[in-house]
Every structure is written in structure tokens, then in C-alpha cells.
Chains A and B, each alone.
Chain A
Amino acid sequence: MIEYKYLDFEKPIIELDRKIKEMKNLADSENLELSKEIQLLEKKRDRLLKDIYTKLSRWQRIQLARHPLRPYSLDLIKLMFTDFIELHGDRYFADDKAIVGGFGKLDGANIMIIGQQKGRDTKIRQFRNFGMCHPEGYRKALRLMKLAEKFDLPIIIFVDTPGAYPGIGAEERGQAEAIAHNLREMATIEVPIIVVIIGEGASGGALGIGLGDKVFMLENSWYSVISPEGCAAILWKTENIDNPAKIEANKKQAAEALKPIAEDLARLNIIDKIIPEPPGGAHLDHQKTAQILKKELLEALVELEGYSSEQLCNKRLEKYRVIGIYNELR
């Protein structure tokens, strides 16, 4: 079991949960009639939960997106798909462990699934390189997409990365080329592509597998041109600041300024839908999260199946062609 540190704003709820559990135990062991008291506490808990979660700041939402118990790609695949068979390797250099993919069935329908994968404990986290892909990861993803195109399978992609890996090998093997190439190729893949930001969507590392006909975000995920940390480092040179409280404040300010949460992206018309999470966040109920998401995916698949491959590609191009907000001087 993983050692779990609760987020600060979760603590009052966790405390109430503990009390409810205690009372239930007491009722059972002493054979007492406490159902009224328990009900009252549960009501209080639900109110508190709603109260806290409707007022979360962007920075707090990002903490939820990074929650160590949040469902990762393989968790969701396991809960939603049957007969998943994982496929490996980019056929050029290596198998990138930060990205997984393969065939699977969604309510019986054959699907190609691709997802960035994080790890929960230190060892797996390192094995998965914290969900940070190398060029071979982007090339592996594209190989699987081409495979899907060949066999006319829709593609479902889960994005969850703190960024493309910034390292020597990554540069030597063309990190920028790998991402750019994916963007160009994904624009003309002749099968439906549905992208879901399930946790973190950091910059080009996310976009490199993130171009699709439908782009969804889980309620507590984030997606931005740069992480709040990266933004703060550039704007306020946080690496030269000694005061941790000041750095924290800068990150919070960057998180607010970047407008990176699902509501922001919906408002800017960048995403098609916000997928609601169970009360308190996806980490509290993986099963329910998967259930809600599965329903949305099936609906989107039905819609996209109505288009010919030509219509699909034209609509996809048009979707991205119109993104941008600027003024024209007379």
C-alpha cells in the first residue's frame, strides 16, 4: 500500500469520514441505535464536500490532477475495457515505458487505446519516467495510430504528463521532430480520435498525442502551454529565490494567470466537454470515474462513426484551423 498524504483542503472531510466510521463501528459493536446521528454527520460531510470543492483555486485543482491516488491510464483501461492486449515499441529505437497502448474492447467494440502512464510508488514512478515521454514514446503512439487506421479502429487517447522529457537523449533523438511529426500525421489519420486529458496536460508533451476529433477533460485535470512551475521560473526566476513561501505564491499566481483548468479551456472553446468526476475527485472512486467516462466515450464514438473518413479529416482540420483570438487593425 502506498503512503498517502492528504491534501490540506481534503483534511476536514477525511476527519468527518473518520468520525462516521467510528460511530458506525460503535453502533455495531455496542448494538446502539445511532443511525440518526450518522445520517446527520453524513449530510454535514456532503455539504462540506460541496462547499470546499466549488471554491477550489486553480492551484488546488492542479494538486488534485497530480493526486498520487488519481486513476492513471492503465487503471482506467482495466476498469473500462475488456481483452486489452498491450503492444510495445516504436520499431526504431526502444519501448517508451511512459506511454502504453494496445487493442481493447469497449462494450464489445474494437478500439486502439493509447495513454501516458505514471507510477504510484518510487520504483514504478521511475520505471514510467514520471509519465514523461521520449521521442520513441511519440513514435510508438504514432505507430499504433497507423495500425488503428489500417484496421479501421477508432483511437482513444489518455493524456497524463508533466511534460515531454527534457534530457540529452531526448534531444539527440529529436523530441521536437517527434512531436511535430505526430501533429501533422494525426491531422490526417482516417479513423476517429478521441482525446481525454485525465490528469496533467503539460504543453507539447501532451499535445504530441493530443490532436483529435473530440477533446475531453476530466473535471480536475489541467492542460496548458507550460506548467505553473515552468511559468513561474521564467517570469519570476524562482530558481534564484530562497524563500519557499514566495516560490509557492509565484506558482499559485502562475496557475491563476495561465487559466489551465477544464472550465477555462471550455470557456475558450478548446475542449469539447468537461467530464464530471465523483464528489471529492476521481481518486476517491476510480470505478465511478471510469463508469462516467465510458458512457461519454461510447456516445462520442457513436457520433463520430457517422462520418466518412474524408468528413472526419475535414472536420478535424477545421476544428483546429479556427483556434486563435486576435484583433485586426483597419
Chain B
Amino acid sequence: MAWFRKKSRDLSGGEKREIPDGVWTKCKGCGEIITSISLKKNFWTCPKCNYHFRIGSRDYVILLLDDESLDEYDGNLVSADPLGFKDSRKYTDRVADARKKTGLNDAVIAGIGKIDGHVVSFAAMDFNFIGGSMGSVVGEKIARAIERSIKREVPLIIISCSGGARMMEGILSLMQMAKTSALLAKLHKMRIPYISVLTNPTTAGVMASYASLGDVIIAEPQALLGFAGPRVIAQTIGGELPPGFQSSEFFLEHGFLDAIVNRSELKKTLSLLLGYMRVPK
């Protein structure tokens, strides 16, 4: 496994990625003190309790795609401010900050890449960019990723990590759910495989559109998955939520996941699935 030793394409830290900058770090799952080096070797998962630290979209590119195989598309798409949205801050300032902080132009990167030699249309979301929220840019990039799958007749892989639709683009964000799902209907009709990978968290508008529509849906362990946020549900029912509610394990139990896969096994699993799910000739 050469990919994680490559120094030039190091997995690097960021605020919401939970990846530590120091030599030592405390696991959020079990409290164990782990060296950052061993954490990194372990795919940013705790060797003791298997807690999966959140990583970024570029990290998934390195983790899942064959070396240097990503041909990135639509990286030049950036948010407009269609509503002139302002709360305590201007939306345009929020976007500018997120771009500066993450080095990304929005909350998803997409392109054509290879997984163990299988050519795929690939997209990975990034929570570090305004909570991975889906506005017009994310919707458009996902739509184009689906269209690339259709045009080239290659499988679609989407790694989701999102709190849902982006509030600051209002109804336009909501409509991205319809746009992406309608295109997936076309993909489905053409019998092109789509594997949806859910990571922590995948909720609301993203969960209620493309993330739920994979032919096969897999999730990393202990991810928060669901439609409504746990706080909203607790408020509505006026009580405590049961333990493990809205976790990957809960989703699997209720029949909405095919499998829970450790990050260390993710590439192998995708590769295996792609071997079975071929585009009919």
C-alpha cells in the first residue's frame, strides 16, 4: 500500500477534519492517547476503538483512487450569491473564508479516476467547507459527475459528508435535490452502477436525495446518518433519543444500508463491488 507513504500527497489537517496537528492526539471515541503517526498509518481511525476521525475530500481521493489517477473536473465552479443572503455575516464573506481556509472552491471535488484499474466518475464531499452543505455549486458538480458517468458509461461513486442543503442559497439549494435525483433516474435507466458511500455526517437534503439512491449504499462505522437533526427530533418528541439512534449501525439494522465498512477496507470493498456491478454491454 504505497498511497499513504507518499510524502508529496500527505493527508493534512484542518479544523473540522478532526485531524491533529501535534505529535500526540486524544481519541474522541475512547480517550486513548495515540501518536499522530500511528493514527495516520491507521487511515485516521483509532487503533483501539475504531473511531473514524473525519477527513477531507482530498484525503478520500488519495485513499480510494489509484495514484495520480484523478482527472479533476469543474474545480472552477464557485458560489454566486443569488439571494443576497446576510445573517450575522454576508454569505459572500463566508464563502470567501471557506475557500481560503480549505483551499477548495466548494464542498465537493469531482472527476474521473481509477479504483484498482476500474474507471469511475468520482465525487467526494468536504465537511470543512460550510458543513459540506449543498448549494448550486455542489448540485451542479454532482449533476455533471452523473452526466459523465452516463456519457462514458462508467460507474458513479459519491462519497457524501454533509449537513444538508445550504440555507444561504434558499430554494435553489432545495432544488439541487430534485436536479441530482432526476439525473440519477436517467443513470438508473441506463443500468449504470452507482455506489453511495456515507461518512460522518450525512443528513437532511443530501441524505434525502443522491446519498440514498445508490444501487449499493455503504457507510463508515458510527457515522451520523438521517433526515432530521437529532436535536430537532429530541425537541419535537420532548425526550431523550435512544442510544445509537441515527448511527450507521442503526441504519444497517433498519434496512437502509448494504454494509458498514471500515475506512481501511473501503478501497478493497469498492473494487470488489465494481467487479460485480458492470455496465451491461
Residues of A within 8 A of B (CB): 164-168, 170-177, 179-181, 183-185, 187-188, 203-204, 207-208, 210-211, 223-226, 230-231, 234-236, 239, 253-254, 257-260, 264-265, 268, 270, 316-317, 320-321, 323-330
Using Cβ atoms and an 8 Å threshold, which residues of chain B touch A317? Answer: 182-183, 185-186
Contact B227 A321 (CB under 8 A): no
Q: For the complex, what is the distance from the CA of A173 to the CA of B212, rounded to whole Å?
A: 13
Kindly provide the distance from the CB of B226 to the nearest chain A CB, expressed in whole angstroms.
5
Q: For the complex, what is the distance from the CA of A321 to the CA of B175, rounded to whole Å?
A: 9
Kindly provide the distance from the CB of B209 to the nearest chain A CB, expressed in whole angstroms.
5
Q: For the complex, what is the distance from the CA of A183 to the CA of B180, rounded to whole Å?
A: 9
| Closest residue of A by beta carbon distance from B225 | A176
Kindly provide the distance from the CB of A125 to the nearest chain B CB, expressed in whole angstroms.
15
- Extra contacts, 16 of them, besides A183-B209, A270-B171 (Cβ < 8 A), are A167-B228, A168-B233, A171-B245, A175-B227, A176-B211, A181-B213, A184-B184, A207-B174, A225-B167, A225-B171, A226-B167, A235-B87, A259-B171, A321-B183, A325-B80, A328-B76
For chain B, the count of residues having a C-beta within 8 Å of the partner chain is 67
* B65-102 interface (Cβ within 8 A of A): 76-80, 82-83, 85-88
- Is B155 located at the chain interface by the 8 A CB criterion? no
Contact A329 B76 (CB under 8 A): yes
Contact A176 B77 (CB under 8 A): no
Main secondary structure of the interface of B (DSSP, over half): helix
Of B76, B167, B179, B213, the contact of A234 (CB 8 Å cutoff): B167
| Closest residue of A by beta carbon distance from B204 | A204
Contact A327 B175 (CB under 8 A): no
A and B contact pairs by CB, cutoff 8 A, 23 listed: A166-B227, A168-B237, A173-B254, A176-B204, A176-B211, A177-B208, A180-B207, A183-B182, A184-B185, A187-B186, A207-B177, A225-B165, A225-B170, A234-B167, A257-B85, A259-B83, A260-B170, A268-B171, A320-B178, A320-B179, A320-B182, A326-B140, A329-B76
Main secondary structure of the interface of A (DSSP, over half): helix
Using Cβ atoms and an 8 Å threshold, which residues of chain B touch A259? Answer: 83, 170-171
Using Cβ atoms and an 8 Å threshold, which residues of chain A touch B78? Answer: 326-329
* B242-277 interface (Cβ within 8 A of A): 242, 245-246, 250, 254-256
Using Cβ atoms and an 8 Å threshold, which residues of chain A touch B176? Answer: 323-324
Q: For the complex, what is the distance from the CA of A224 to the CA of B246, rounded to whole Å?
A: 25
Residues of B within 8 A of A (CB): 76-80, 82-83, 85-88, 105, 135-137, 139-140, 143, 165-167, 169-179, 181-186, 188-189, 203-205, 207-213, 226-229, 232-233, 235-237, 241-242, 245-246, 250, 254-256
Kindly provide the distance from the CB of A76 to the nearest chain B CB, expressed in whole angstroms.
23
Most chain A C-beta atoms within 10 Å of own C-beta, residue among B79, B87, B182: B182
Q: For the complex, what is the distance from the CA of A270 to the CA of B176, rounded to whole Å?
A: 11
Contact B208 A236 (CB under 8 A): no
| Closest residue of B by beta carbon distance from A172 | B254
Q: For the complex, what is the distance from the CA of A89 to the CA of B142, rounded to whole Å?
A: 34
Contact B136 A225 (CB under 8 A): no
Contact B237 A167 (CB under 8 A): yes
Contact A326 B137 (CB under 8 A): yes
Kindly provide the distance from the CB of B19 to the nearest chain A CB, expressed in whole angstroms.
26
Contact B233 A167 (CB under 8 A): yes
Using Cβ atoms and an 8 Å threshold, which residues of chain A touch B228? Answer: 164, 166-167, 170-171, 175
Q: For the complex, what is the distance from the CA of A329 to the CA of B87, rounded to whole Å?
A: 26
Using Cβ atoms and an 8 Å threshold, which residues of chain A touch B183? Answer: 317, 321
Using Cβ atoms and an 8 Å threshold, which residues of chain A touch B237? Answer: 167-168
Closest 10 CB pairs of A and B: A166-B228, A183-B181, A187-B182, A324-B136, A180-B212, A175-B227, A176-B207, A176-B227, A325-B82, A179-B208
Using Cβ atoms and an 8 Å threshold, which residues of chain B touch A211? Answer: 178, 181-182
| Closest residue of B by beta carbon distance from A325 | B82
| Closest residue of A by beta carbon distance from B140 | A324
Contact A176 B185 (CB under 8 A): no
Q: For the complex, what is the distance from the CA of A329 to the CA of B139, rounded to whole Å?
A: 17
Contact A231 B182 (CB under 8 A): no
A183-B209, A184-B184 given; A225·B174 CB < 8 A = yes
Contact B140 A176 (CB under 8 A): no
A166-B232, A166-B233, A176-B226 given; A324·B174 CB < 8 A = no
Contact A167 B173 (CB under 8 A): no
A177-B256, A223-B171, A260-B170 given; A321·B179 CB < 8 A = yes
Q: For the complex, what is the distance from the CA of A291 to the CA of B234, rounded to whole Å?
A: 42
Kindly provide the distance from the CB of B130 to the nearest chain A CB, expressed in whole angstroms.
12
| Closest residue of B by beta carbon distance from A175 | B227
A171-B228, A234-B167, A316-B182 given; A329·B140 CB < 8 A = no
Contact B205 A225 (CB under 8 A): yes
Contact B174 A171 (CB under 8 A): no
